[in-house]
Amino acid sequence: MKRTRISDLLGIQYPIIQGGMLWLADAGLAAAVSNAGALGIISPFAGMPTDGDVIKNLEEQIRQIRRLTDRPFGVNIPLDLSQSGILINVLLEHDVKIVITAAGSPELYTDLLKQLDKTVMHVVSSVKQGRLSESCGVDAVITEGIEAAAHNGKEEIPLFSLIPQMTDALSVPVVAAGGIVDGRGMAAAETLGAEGVQLGTRFIAVDENPAHENYKQAILEADETGTVITGRNRLPTRNLKTSFSGRLLQLEKSGASSKEIAEFLGYRRSRISQLEGFLDLGETFAGSSVGMIKEILPVAEVIQKLVDGYHQAIKRPTVH
Half-sphere exposure of 29 (CA within 13 A, CB side): 32
The reported pLDDT for the residue numbered 154 is 83
In a domain, 287, yes or no: no
Judge if 101 and 170 occupy the same domain. yes
Shared domain for 196 and 248, answered yes or no, is: no
Question: For the chain, what is the mean pLDDT?
Answer: 94
User: Is 60 exceeded by the pLDDT of residue 320?
Assistant: no
28 assigned to some structural domain: yes
Mean pLDDT confidence for 263-277: 89
pLDDT tops 60 at residue 45: yes
Clarify whether residues 82 and 226 are in a common domain.
no
Q: Are residues 297 and 271 in the same domain?
A: no
The pLDDT score that the predictor gives to residue 317 is 61
Choice between 113 and 319, residue whose per-residue pLDDT is larger = 113
Residue 95, pLDDT score: 95
Same domain, 89 and 230: no
b/e per residue, 45-74, with b = 16+ CB within 10 A? bbbbeeeeebeebbbbbbebbeebbebbbb
Q: Is residue 80 one of the residues assigned to a domain?
A: yes
Structural domain containing residue 26: 5-210+293-314
Which residue has better confidence, 246 or 267? 246
206 and 217 fall within a common domain: no
Are 250 and 305 found together in one domain?
no
94 and 232 share one domain = no
Give domain status of residue 90, yes or no: yes
pLDDT, tens digit (0-9, with 9 covering 90-100), for 172-223: 999 999 999 999 999 999 999 999 999 999 999 999 999 999 999 999 999 9
**pLDDT score, position 151:** 85
Looking at residue 262, its pLDDT comes to: 87
Q: Higher pLDDT residue, 82 or 111?
A: 111
Q: Is residue 303 part of a domain?
A: yes
| 83 and 222 housed in the same domain | no
Average pLDDT over residues 232-240: 88
How far apart are the two ends of the chain, measured CA to CA in Å?
A: 26
At 266, the pLDDT band (50, 70, 90 cuts) reads confident
Lowest-confidence segment of 60-64, 129-133, 176-180, 264-268 by average pLDDT = 264-268
**pLDDT score recorded for residue 2:** 76
In Å, what is the CA distance from 225 to each residue of 17, 19, 175, 289? 26, 22, 26, 9
Q: Are the CB atoms for 139 and 172 separated by under 8 Å?
A: yes
Verify that 133 and 224 share a domain, yes or no: no
The answer as to whether 298 is a domain residue is yes
Indicate whether 281 belongs to any domain. no
d(CA 272, CA 157): 30
pLDDT confidence band for 318 (50 / 70 / 90): low
For 78, list phi and psi in degrees, rounded to 5.
-70, 120
pLDDT score of 150: 86
List the CATH number of the domain containing 95.
Answer: 3.20.20.70
pLDDT on residue 24: 97
The total number of structural domains in the chain stands at 2
> Predicted confidence band at 1 (pLDDT cuts at 50, 70, 90)?
low
246 in a structural domain: yes
pLDDT digits (tens, 9 = 90+) for 134-184: 999 999 999 999 999 988 888 889 999 999 999 999 999 999 999 999 999
- Are 251 and 305 contained in the same domain? no
Same-domain check for residues 197 and 219: no
